[in-house]
């Protein structure tokens, strides 16, 4: 067959086939790839394509593609467009001998690939760090979150900004979920009978491959795992799963199932880590990480994350107040980090920001 461009290792090309190394594999994808099997290409997009195997989906991307539970990051050049290079919906996918073959043109070698799992740096989850982190994060992404989708639910006051049917329904759903989270986080052994309303409004809501509403729920479950509240995540998923089975397509369902296991795109995990540590300087790269996750799905997930963190902060605070029994303590806690003067200016800045949005 013919030559390959100069800066592409000739080894990638052999007799009509391109063979690339897989650099990193997401946690869930790794489980799928641990045994042989057959499947097919389910959908092809610019930078990635989804392969449906017997037990689930995985997503193949080129160099620099976002890390995630379903993702395979390969050595294919970053500017690769899979459709233009011949990947087609329906191409056969064959897994065996440490190699994933896709159609007649592509081979992805799995040996030596690193597995990726979300990692948190010893989060204390101390309410005061959490509250400050949330404020700093909101400040950093004011005006950055896109108008589409539910990203603007990150901010408390969503009344501002252009109205849309998606936001209207989303706000109603979030308010219902906030109330439910508030109770379940305060009283973990709340009777399970109480279903988290608002899920049916949220599931499948909004544009995008994985609807915005699904990403919000995903963000909530991921945040729950991050804060050690796996039980809450499981309860959310127990109610949401049947809705997802009926309403969502296989790709949205796969992402939700991963979130139910506490795993989402790397950018979301980094954002949670930064918020919980309250560290200021990370937010620039955190914002970029979120933006890299599909058009709005990173921001939609962060809406779910911030809602969950907010609810868990209030529940923790109420619990502390009950324990300490006095308002001073609350004041003490609130003031510990910020000098009174800073606080006033701080609050003014945040409110000003929101009008501008």
Partner 1 sequence: MSRVIVNRVRKGLYLDSVALMRFSRSIAGLAGVEEAALMMGTPANLGILVEAGLLDGAGEHAKGGDLVIAVRARDGDSADAAVAKAGELLDQPRLTRGETAAWRPRTLRAALNQVPEATLALISVPGDFAAAEARKAIRRGLDAMIFSDNVPLADEVALKREARDLGRLVMGPDCGTAIINGVPLAFANRVPSGAVGIIGASGTGIQEVSCLIARNGAGISHAIGVGGRDLSEAVGGISTLRALDMLARDPASERVVLISKPPAPEVSARVLEKLSGIGKPATVCFVGAPPMAMPANAVQAFTLREAALRSVGVSGETPPPALPPVPTIAPGRREIRGLFSGGTLCAEAQAVMLAGKIAVASNAPIPGAAPASTGAAESLLLDMGDDSYTRGRPHPMIDPEVRDDAVRQAMADPSVAVILADIVLGFGAHGDPAGHLARAVRAAGGAERALLIASVTGTEADPQIRSVQIAKLEEAGILVAPSNADAARWACEAVQR
Partner 2 sequence: MNDIAGRIETANREALGRMIAGDPVLVDVIPAAEAIPSLQDRMILHAGPPVDWERMCGPMRGAVAGIAVFEGWAPDLETANRMAGEGAFDFRPNHHFDAVGPMTGMTTISQPVMVVENRAFGNRAYCTINEGLGKVMRFGGNDAEVLDRLRWLRDGFGPAMGRALRSGEGIPLKPLVARGLTMGDEMHQRNVGCTGLMLRALSPAMAASAGDLDGLARALAFIGGNDQFFLNIAMAMGKAIMDPVRDIEASTIVTAMSRNGTEFGIRVSGTGDTWFTAPVEMPEGLYFPGFTEADANPDMGDSTIVETVGLGGFAMGAAPAVAGFVGAGTASEAANFTRSMAEITLGENPEWTIPAMDYRGVPSGIDIRLVVETGLAPTINTGIAHREPGIGQVGAGVVRAPLACFHQALRAFADRMGVS
Residues in contact with partner 1 by CB under 8 A are: 42-46, 50, 83, 88-90, 148-149, 165-166, 169, 200-209, 211, 213, 246-252, 294-297
Closer residue to partner 2 (CB): 80 or 306: 80
Binding test (CB under 8 A) with partner 2, winner from 35, 38, 55, 81: 81
16 Cβ neighbours under 8 A, 6+ residues apart: 1, 104, 105
Do residues 305 and 145 touch, judged by C-beta distance below 8 A? no
**Which stretch, 65-73, 82-90, 93-101, 154-162, contacts partner 2 (CB under 8 A)?**
82-90
Return the closest-CA partner of residue 71 out of 81, 58, 84. Answer: 58
Provide the 10 A C-beta neighbour count for residue 351.
9
Contact between 5 and partner 2 per CB under 8 A: yes
Provide the 10 A C-beta neighbour count for residue 13.
16
Closer residue to partner 1 (CB): 300 or 310: 300
- Cα separation, 347 vs 75, whole angstroms: 47
Instruction: Report what 77 binds from partner 1, partner 2, none; CB cut-off 5-8 Å by kind.
Output: partner 2
Instruction: Report what 119 binds from partner 2, partner 1, none; CB cut-off 5-8 Å by kind.
Output: none
DSSP H helical segments within the chain, as ranges? Answer: 27-32, 127-141, 165-186, 199-202, 212-226, 230-247, 250-260, 266-277, 283-291, 297-324, 327-335, 340-356
Using CB under 8 A as the criterion, what x/- string covers residues 271-310 for binding partner 2? ----------------------------------------
Using CB under 8 A as the criterion, what x/- string covers residues 102-121 for binding partner 2? --xx----------------
Provide the 10 A C-beta neighbour count for residue 125.
17
Instruction: Report what 127 binds from partner 2, partner 1, none; CB cut-off 5-8 Å by kind.
Output: none
Contact between 8 and partner 2 per CB under 8 A: yes
Q: In what helix (H) or strand (E) does residue 147 lie, and over which residues does it extend?
A: none
Provide the pairing of β-strand 106-109 with 71-74.
unpaired
Burial of residue 189, with CB atoms counted within 10 A of its CB: 0-12 exposed, 13-18 middle, 19 or more buried: exposed
Compute the least distance from the CB of residue 103 to partner 2, in Å.
8
Closer residue to partner 1 (CB): 131 or 253: 253
Question: Scanning residues 195 to 234, which ones bind partner 2 (CB under 8 A)?
Answer: none
Provide the pairing of β-strand 48-53 with 56-61.
antiparallel
Compute the least distance from the CB of residue 184 to partner 1, in Å.
23
Compute the least distance from the CB of residue 206 to partner 2, in Å.
30
Indicate left, alpha or beta for 309 from its phi (over 0: left) and psi (-120 to 50: alpha).
alpha
Closer residue to partner 2 (CB): 79 or 351: 79
Residues of this chain that bind partner 2 (CB under 8 A): 1-6, 8, 10, 12-13, 15-16, 18, 20, 62, 76-82, 84-86, 104-105
């Amino acid at each position: 067959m013919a030559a390959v461009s100069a800066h592409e290792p000739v080894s990638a090309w052999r007799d009509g086939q391109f063979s690339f190394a897989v650099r990193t594999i997401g946690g869930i994808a790794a489980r799928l790839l641990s045994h042989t099997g057959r499947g097919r290409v389910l959908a092809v997009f610019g930078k990635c394509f989804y392969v449906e195997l017997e037990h689930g989906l995985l997503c193949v991307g080129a160099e620099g593609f976002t890390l995630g539970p379903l993702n395979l990051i390969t050595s294919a050049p970053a500017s690769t467009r899979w459709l233009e290079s011949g990947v087609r919906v329906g191409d056969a996918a064959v897994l065996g001998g440490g190699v994933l073959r896709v159609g007649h043109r592509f081979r992805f070698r799995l040996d030596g690939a690193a597995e990726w799992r979300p990692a948190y740096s010893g989060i204390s989850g101390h309410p005061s760090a959490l509250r400050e982190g949330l404020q700093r994060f909101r400040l950093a992404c004011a005006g950055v979150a896109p108008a589409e989708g539910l990203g603007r639910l990150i901010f408390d006051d969503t009344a501002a900004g252009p109205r849309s049917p998606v936001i209207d329904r989303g706000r109603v759903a979030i308010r219902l979920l906030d109330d439910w989270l508030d109770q379940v986080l305060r009283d973990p052994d709340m009777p399970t009978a109480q279903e988290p309303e608002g899920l049916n409004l949220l599931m499948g809501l909004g544009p995008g491959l994985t609807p915005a509403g699904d990403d919000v729920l995903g963000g909530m479950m991921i945040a729950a795992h991050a804060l050690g509240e796996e039980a809450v995540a499981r309860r959310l998923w127990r109610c949401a799963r049947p809705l997802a089975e009926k309403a969502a397509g296989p790709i949205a369902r796969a992402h939700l199932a991963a979130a139910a296991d506490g795993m989402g795109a790397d950018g979301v995990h980094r954002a949670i880590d930064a918020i919980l540590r309250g560290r200021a300087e990370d937010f620039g790269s955190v914002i970029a990480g979120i933006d890299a996750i599909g058009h709005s799905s990173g921001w939609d997930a962060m809406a779910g994350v911030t809602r969950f963190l907010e609810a868990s902060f209030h529940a923790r605070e109420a619990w502390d107040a009950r324990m300490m029994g006095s308002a001073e303590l609350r004041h003490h806690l609130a003031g510990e980090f910020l000098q009174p003067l800073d606080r006033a200016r701080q609050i003014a800045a945040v409110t000003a920001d929101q009008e501008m949005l």
